[in-house]
Amino acid sequence: MEKGILAYPWDLDILGIEPSLNEIQEAGLDAICLNVGYHHGRFFRPRAKTFCELKESAISFLPDARLYGRLKPLLHVDLANNMIVEKTAKSAKERGMSFLAWLVFFHNSSLGEANESLCMQNIWKDRYIYNLCASQPDVHEYAMALMTDVCKNHKPARVVTEAVSWLPFEHNCHHEVYTTDLGETGKYLLSMCFCDECQKKASSLGVDVEKTIYTADRLMKRIIEKDIGWAEMERSSLSYYFLEFPELYDYQHARQQILHDLLTDLYAVAKKYSVSLDYVPTSMILSSVHAFWEGVSFSLLEDCVDRFSLAPYGPDASAVRHDVRSVRNVTDASLGAAISLRFGVTDSLDDLIARLEVFYQEGIEAIWFYNYGILTKERFSWIRKAIDTVGPEFWAK
């Protein structure tokens, strides 16, 4: 079983590549998954005793400008000039470690603000500038260029692709402020994209788009006007509406097909350069089954990914097991999984060990710990202890 850690390049830049890789290997890990393109964020770094604030959505390597069209990636200049990605890849490979590149695609507020017409658009024509739309030809071209750039010029064993989807409306670039309880249905409806390209592609697949927009708008108005609040039975209401209004169901299938076509093209690029493609089905801290909010169908995508990389950050091992089994119910594809060691998710060493045992029992093939630079030394030390506790038979699987 592959076991590695996710890491940010700005952490390796300040902590040092060689000391960081030494520590990672001493923890019993054999792979590093380095982010090479990320979104805005502010990160508390307990080891460096400082914050890192990313004011732009940017990549950390010098791009091959010839590959890009209308959309060109912004650059973390210092990281690129310091060649953190290249040096980390070289050192990891020399040590016998596997080097993976983790790349966030469409969650990009910088490009979104500069190109609003290429962003998601909801039923009321509001633009979500934090997410480029997968249906847009220029966005498709940008994704292909990014994948080619990373695979051709950096040669990772795998590219872990994140945010190749339509992110839910709550995954914004700033604080979301709303006091209305929209429930599962309202949140889903406001996470659907109805930009011109999405409408055109859905129509070409036989969807009555005008009726879909009318139905979604009517449902949203009733949810808001009734203001009945969330109830436990509301969890099942979305499937009820899919059955009552086939146009919603059809539009969802169109979104899934659009995503499948895009990932098929990205997969072809990866195979051209003998790189494996791992796919993160959701960027939200939700159960994996909520990936359908983002247009994801596990069964449809399994032929154009090498592995699904899950992030089952449930409250305990039982919830993690349910998450993994829910995915396994619909696909036989290879599954990897990340474990967040953040406070409030994994609360103790025993909790970590219990989660690892679930992954072993459920046939997970790769485990990734999140995240090197934002962990305290105490929590990082749990990794070695957990690896030793579960024993060599666990990792030999």
Domains for the chain: give ranges and CATH numbers. 2-178+268-396 (3.20.20.80)
Looking at residue 1, its pLDDT comes to 84
The DSSP bridge partners found for residue 37 are: 59, 103
The helix-helix angle for 209-226 and 196-204 (nearest 10°) equals 120
Least confident of 29-33, 40-44, 169-173, 218-222: 169-173
Looking at residue 46, its pLDDT comes to 87
Q: What is the pTM of this model?
A: 0.95
* Contact criterion met (CB below 8 Å) for 242 and 252: yes
Looking at residue 54, its pLDDT comes to 82
Looking at residue 91, its pLDDT comes to 98
Looking at residue 44, its pLDDT comes to 85
Q: What is the band of 224 on the pLDDT scale with cuts at 50, 70, 90?
A: confident
Which residues 6+ apart lie within 8 Å of 102 measured at CB? 6, 33, 34, 35, 36, 159, 160, 162
pLDDT score of 35 more than 70: yes
* Rounded CA separation 108/56 (Å): 8
pLDDT score of 154 more than 90: yes
Give the mean pLDDT of 303-322.
95
Summary mean pLDDT of the chain: 93
Looking at residue 208, its pLDDT comes to 98
pLDDT score of 263 more than 90: yes
User: For the segment 384-397, what is each residue's pLDDT rounded down to a tens digit?
Assistant: 999 999 877 777 76
Looking at residue 237, its pLDDT comes to 80
pLDDT score of 351 more than 70: yes
Which residues 6+ apart lie within 8 Å of 387 measured at CB? 3, 27, 28, 395
Give the mean pLDDT of 77-103.
97
Looking at residue 169, its pLDDT comes to 82
* Contact criterion met (CB below 8 Å) for 269 and 148: yes
Looking at residue 117, its pLDDT comes to 98
